[in-house]
Amino acid sequence: MQYRKLGNSDLDISVITFGAWAAGGWMWGGTERSEAVQAIRESYHAGVTSIDTAPVYGQGLSEEIVGEAIRDLPRDKVQILTKYGMHWDLAKGDFAMKSQTNDGQAIDIYKYASADSIVKECEDSLKRLGTDYIDLYQIHWHDKTTPIQESMEAVSLLIQQGKVRYAGVCNYNAELLMEAGKYINLVSDQVPYSMLRKDIEAETVPYCIGNNISILAYSPLQRGLLTGKMTSGYSFAKDDNRASLHYFSDENIKRVNAFLAKIRPVAEDKKATLGQLVLKWTVEQPGITIALAGARDARQALENASSVDIQLNRDEISFINNQLSDLKLVNK
């Protein structure tokens, strides 16, 4: 495994970080707790020491699973990345969406990051995680109803109290990063990035590079689409929201698979899967510090972890990029 430092911190994060969104089941069609716990533990032993989660993932379940998984691991060898500012239990702030719990109960999700709320959320997360500090605390989404200054100053207080080590943000563009940076030392920005979603390259990546802010790329496999394991007519679970996203239309699945067929020889030459090749390509892109990769079970987790062992030269990366430039998705 390789490790990279976040911003100007002393926090070394595994280049492949375990993304625990799917572990919580929410919007992924449910979860199997014991398999998720085992996946995290196997990842750790393969060198994946960093785990990213959030309270809203399974409405607390993902954090509880992470807490169970790390219970017998040396705490100083594990980096816990979690978030704040997304509520299913408080109808206040910036309405985000209607959703449902893993058992089908209807819930409304709000973006809310007031100072009082952040303090409470931190305490709740610490209890679920079974720890007394969080390595990286990130605002999940921008809350339009709360001044950024208020949110960042609340996290600064948590850092002073030793409950949080470093501050990060998620889904922030360059403008929001600039504003937040006035009030706190930001070490990272977690944003969606994949071969199929590269819009951050225009402004966010240059800003982060210029201001020593690490980028944590989430959904680098485009939620499974870039593994090559989906075919047209793929059947999603009832509460799996991928079915409503344009990436997963039959036509786009067909087009993506045609692209993957072109780069498959590179993966085969490396004795790697397409998913491993895609993860390695992701962490070789300018400004991308780490890639978040989720896993349903230990086999997937170990496969993700070993992707860092692949060696890609400039010609191979150029070949992949050239094939990618020909891929056009239908945006509907």
Of 10-19, 95-104, 312-321, least confident by mean pLDDT is 95-104
Confidence of residue 31 (pLDDT cuts 50, 70, 90): low
Of 30-44, 145-159, 295-309, least confident by mean pLDDT is 30-44
Burial class (CB in 10 A: 0-12, 13-18, 19+), 262: middle
Do residues 241 and 234 lie in contact, with contact meaning Cβ atoms separated by under 8 Å? no
**Which one is catalytic: 44, 57, 166, 218?**
57
pLDDT value for 235:
67
Mean pLDDT for the chain overall? 91
Confidence of residue 244 (pLDDT cuts 50, 70, 90): low
Bridge partners (DSSP) of residue 223 are none
- Model pLDDT for residues 161-188, shown as the tens digit of each residue: 999 999 999 999 999 999 999 999 999 9
Of 76-80, 89-93, 103-107, 286-290, least confident by mean pLDDT is 103-107
pLDDT of 28 above 50: no
pLDDT value for 224:
85
Class of the domain covering 3-225+274-311: alpha beta
Residue ranges of domains in the chain: 3-225+274-311
Assess whether 247 carries a catalytic annotation. no
| Cα 332 from Cα 330, distance rounded (Å) | 6
| Cα 175 from Cα 152, distance rounded (Å) | 15
| Cα 265 from Cα 17, distance rounded (Å) | 26
Confidence of residue 147 (pLDDT cuts 50, 70, 90): very high
pLDDT of 148 above 60: yes
- Model pLDDT for residues 5-14, shown as the tens digit of each residue: 999 999 999 9
% of the chain residues with pLDDT over 90: 73
- Model pLDDT for residues 117-126, shown as the tens digit of each residue: 999 999 999 9
Confidence of residue 240 (pLDDT cuts 50, 70, 90): low
pTM equals 0.92
| Cα 218 from Cα 83, distance rounded (Å) | 14
Confidence of residue 105 (pLDDT cuts 50, 70, 90): confident
pLDDT value for 112:
97
Bridge partners (DSSP) of residue 108 are 98
% of the chain residues with pLDDT over 70: 94
pLDDT value for 296:
77
Report, as an integer, the average pLDDT of 49-74: 93
Burial class (CB in 10 A: 0-12, 13-18, 19+), 119: middle
- Model pLDDT for residues 188-232, shown as the tens digit of each residue: 999 999 999 999 999 999 999 999 999 999 999 998 889 888 777
